[in-house]
Structure 1
Amino acid sequence: MAHDRPFRFGIQLSTAPSGAEWAALARKAEDLGYSTLFLPDHFGDQLAPLPAMQAAADATTELRVGALVFDNDFKHPVVLAKEIATVDVLSGGRVELGLGAGWMTTDYEQSGIPQDPPALRVSRMEESIAVLKGLFADGALDFAGEHYTITGLDGRPKPLQRPHPPLLVGGGGRRVLGIAAREAQIVGINPSLRSGRIDAETAADATAAATDRKLAWVREAAGARFPEIELSCLLFAVVETTDAAGTAELMAGVFGIPAEEVREVPHALIGTVEEMCDLLEARRERWGLSYVVVQGDAMDTMAPVVARLAGR
């Protein structure tokens, strides 16, 4: 594996009862050594990503902020470009731009936003990437695509990070990962969410063998730029335990694989702190996964691992 990047860690947080408590969460994440605070982009019980990103940036000095990931169907890229550039300027250049084609069926059902077929949503996201990059670049953009038409628009403000904030695109399918490999600075290796919900199909696509296949797709699509890509993975389960074998046995049915293979699943981390560190180092060696993102409920559990590995 060509990637020998230092580890960095992100935390995905969703909400807090007040601005003061949200700011305290952001400061805690920074103090614990997390690189980035991410928010999801759904219509459920969570803060809206952009104002929460700005509030987190205002409360900290180095913490990076982003969405994991913005649903392309919720914002026109012209609107998103202005908002992202604004937060990048106001945060001192600390934005990471996560973008996806949209996947959660309940978001579409409850909001009334049409959920087009996956192929159409992915095509629209691909055009959106071109529009975003064009608006972040110097000068006016003219773009005529199937989904977006931009005429003589000079996106302002320009982001502080040049040529643009790092673009993060993740996926579990070959086409999305191919787009990510060609266009993004950060590629997230995810289970398939094609069904629009987290289900047995999602778990079955989270295995080590599936990850081998996805990394091969990324490498092929990226070509010569593969060494430039930062590879990321979201952990859905972090379990600190002295009985990793017993925990893996309990989780084996979820993934539909033998218990001895569960600890190889890159989206779960099970064991003592030392064992978890060893697992992450093995995964970096095998797959190049150096940017590890955890759910908010694992912030404290993961903190000793972050302390040992961040920057190494």
Structure 2
Amino acid sequence: MSRPFRFGLQSYAADTAEDWRQQARRAESMGFSTFSVADHVIGPGPALAATNHPVQNVAAVPAMAVAIEATDTINIGSRVFCTDYRQPVMFAKELATLDFFADGRLELGLGCGWLQGEYEAMGVRWDRAGVRIDRFEETIDLLRQHFGAGEVDISGEHVEATGFEGVPKPADGVPPIMIGGGAKRILGIAGREADIVSLNFDNSSGKIGPDGVGSSTAELTEAKIGYVRDGAAERSDGRGFDHLEIEIGAYFTVVTDDRTGTLGQMAPMFSLEPDQLAEHPHALIGSVDAICDQLAERRETYGISYVTFGASVVDAVGPIVERLSGT
């Protein structure tokens, strides 16, 4: 049986503090299940321009705290934290505190980091992917210990902490963990460790570009689901793939009656053919009816039931959220 649809709204920026609060409240009133922020740090300049990444003008942790206080029922999430940017114990403490104030509404999104130019601009060491993922796994272990009963005791190659209990403790256990990624190893870890798997591009290039978009075609997304299934088979909690929630960012969303023309204009931007973009799991292009039909097809094909839209299309996708949420 398919999971019911739910939808997230992700924002990178706000014009004012009140604008940020209003974005969160609006997402709540429109029926989105989650309001989330990404985790990027550097502002405009040559370092960011070289990555092709948009500016995020608010830091994730305080922005989430403000959104928590501004809302009553909507989940507040990170999509996703770069674990490399933070000292692990301090990170665990911040997350536990966010969970304390969220009163059960925290969605904990985690990733191992990928934007090479941001690392370098910040002076954060850019290790090869295998090292970053090793460190990521140790950080997950620390977080679970910090949220759990008893004292923290971890002595890894990258993370060391011992002799204390993590506080505050979550009232409802470890909050839902989302792990995001687009390559084989990280998706296997997600299948093994996460509650929510966020399918993303394979960003091995360290920047946004056609290579990343091309790594998430329909065919390659099928392969990614296979990596998640393989990881889920190794879970220690006895839960299999069917217990996982599969999420995806609808990065290329255009609500339009001219689907053919829009596909023809957009596809060359990503070095794709129009029919490839039409079936691309991160693209939703067409009328409200057509997009709703496509979401249903993708849920059947890939198990994707959780879709996150960017704040720039909130008005256009409102009818989709209203029609499909909970169905």
Say whether the fold is shared (TM-score over 0.5): yes
1:5 — aligned with what?
3
Q: Which residue of 1 aligns with 2:198?
A: 188
Normalised by the length of structure 1, the TM-score is 0.96
Of residues 195, 215, 236, the one that matches 1:205 is 215
Shift of 1:254: 3.5
Q: Offset of 1:161 from its aligned partner?
A: 2.8
Deviation at 1:22, TM superposition (A): 1.2
Query: Could you say which residue in structure 1 is the equivalent of 2:297?
Result: 282
Over the residues paired in the alignment, what is the CA RMSD in angstroms? 1.2
Structure 2: where are the runs of 5+ without partners?
Answer: 44-55, 234-238
Q: Is the Cα contact below 8 Å between 1:85 and 1:160 reproduced in 2?
A: no
Q: Give the drift of 1:243.
A: 1.4
Q: Deviations over 1:95-125 (max 9, x none)?
A: 1111111111221121111111111101100
Which of 62, 81, 85 is equivalent to 1:51? 62
2:273 alignment partner AA: P
Task: Please state whether the residue corresponding to 1:128 is helix, strand or coil.
Answer: helix
Counterpart pick for 2:253 among 234, 238, 255: 238
1:176 and 2:191 are equivalent in the alignment: no
Residues 73-114 of structure 1 show CA distances to partners (whole Å, capped at 9, x for unaligned) of: 111221111111111111211111111111112211211111
* Structure 2 residue aligned with 1:61: 72
C-alpha contact (below 8 Å) 1:10/1:35 kept by paired residues: yes
Q: Which residue of 1 aligns with 2:89?
A: 78
* 2:155 aligned residue: 144
Unaligned 5+ segments in structure 1 are none
Confirm or deny that 1:122 pairs with 2:133: yes
Residues 171, 189 of structure 1: 8 Å contact kept = yes
Q: Which residue of 1 aligns with 2:106?
A: 95
Aligned identity (percent) is: 42
Q: How many residues align?
A: 309
| 8 Å contact from structure 1 (residues 206, 255) kept in 2 | no
Structure 1 stretches of at least 4 aligned residues deviating more than 6 Å after TM superposition: none
Q: Which of 25, 39, 42 is 1:41 aligned to?
A: 39
- The CA deviation string for residues 3-49 of structure 1, in whole angstroms up to 9 with x for no partner, is 61011111111222322221111111111111111111111342111
Verify the 8 A CA contact 2:248 2:307 in the aligned structure 1.
Answer: yes
Paired letter, 2:2:
D
Larger mean Cα displacement after TM superposition, 199-208 or 276-285: 199-208
Normalized against structure 2, the TM-score is what?
A: 0.92
- In structure 2, the residue corresponding to 1:61 is in which secondary structure? coil
The AA in structure 1 aligned to 2:241 is: F
CA distance in 2, matches of 1:132, 1:26: 26
- Which deviations, in whole Å up to 9, do the C-alpha atoms of 1:109-154 show, x marking residues without a partner? 2111111111110110011001100110011121111111111220
